[in-house]
Homo-oligomer: A and B are copies of this chain.
Amino acid sequence: MLHTDSAKLLETKTGWKQNPEAVRMDIIKIATAEFAQNGLSGARVNEIAAKTKTSKRMIYYYFGDKDGLYQQVLIEAYREVREGERELDLEHLEPLPALKKLVEFTFEHHRRNPDFIRLVMIENIHHGDYLKHSPLIQTLNQPVIERLERIYARGLEQQLFRAGITALELHWQISALSFFNVSNEATFTLSFGKQLFTKAGQASLKKQVVEMILRFTLRPALIEQYLSHPQA
């Protein structure tokens, strides 16, 4: 009975053919949602197993223990999200539109991946203890900075951007604004109402975030010229 569904996935080769990779990914998918929803200690291995196409036995067979599963979930989540960012082609754009597009994309990308955001929150609650053991992450994240660096360098060259800004700090700022928007929606809403989290509110917020980054980066003399201001 458990196999009526999974059989389809598993018989990619001849006949039955065991397909560990598919089973592994099925477990990770389910576990991702479960950890994101309930946290590390909040998630239940039994619950994860029940929602999986396979059994608890398999979770321990493939991942050793709960922590091992959580760790793989984390890494997979990072990989997938960073993968999604790679499509973004900014090299052929002028510095200002490139920066604008990058900010908009980051803002939307975070919004579209709340489970990833939640996993990162959870990992931060744990002081990054599980990501520590995976040297893969630096490699995975480095390109983000380099891309931003190139945009900034071009903007400097063209005397569009002011000097004295580091790509790392700029990335930090873009991340902060985009991350917080998703991570703290619940408490912010309870404290100050839903306004900012309606469709209109989010659109406005995105625009403001873009403006904030651009006004920070542009040479002041160019701000009026490059930013449209509808009502004043």
Contact = CB atoms under 8 A, between A and B. Distances in A.
Interface in A44-67: none
Interface stretch (A21-29, A87-95, A167-175): A167-175
Q: How large is the interface on A (under 10, 10 to 19, 20 to 34, 35 or more residues)?
A: 35 or more
Contacts of A124: 121, 183-187
Contact of A196 (B165, B168, B189): B168
Interface string A116-137: 0010111111111001100001
Interface in A172-194: 172-173, 175-177, 179-181, 183-193
A231 B40 contact: no
Contacts of A126: 186
A175 B183 CA distance: 12
Contacts of A185: 124
A211 B216 contact: yes
A128 B42 contact: no
Given A123-B186, A176-B177, 17 more contacts: A39-B39, A39-B125, A40-B42, A41-B42, A121-B121, A121-B125, A124-B185, A126-B186, A128-B186, A128-B187, A128-B189, A138-B191, A141-B191, A169-B204, A172-B188, A176-B184, A220-B220
A196 B172 contact: yes
B177 A173 contact: yes
Contacts of A40: 39, 42
A42 B204 CA distance: 37
A151 to B, nearest CB: 17
A61 B209 CA distance: 48
A164 interface: yes
Contacts of A231: 163-164
Contacts of A121: 121, 124-125, 183
Given A180-B176, A212-B216, A232-B162, A186 B41 contact: no
Contacts of A190: 128, 131-132, 137-138
Contacts of A42: 39-42
Contacts of A120: 184, 187
A208 interface: yes
A165 to B, nearest CB: 8
Contacts of A193: 138
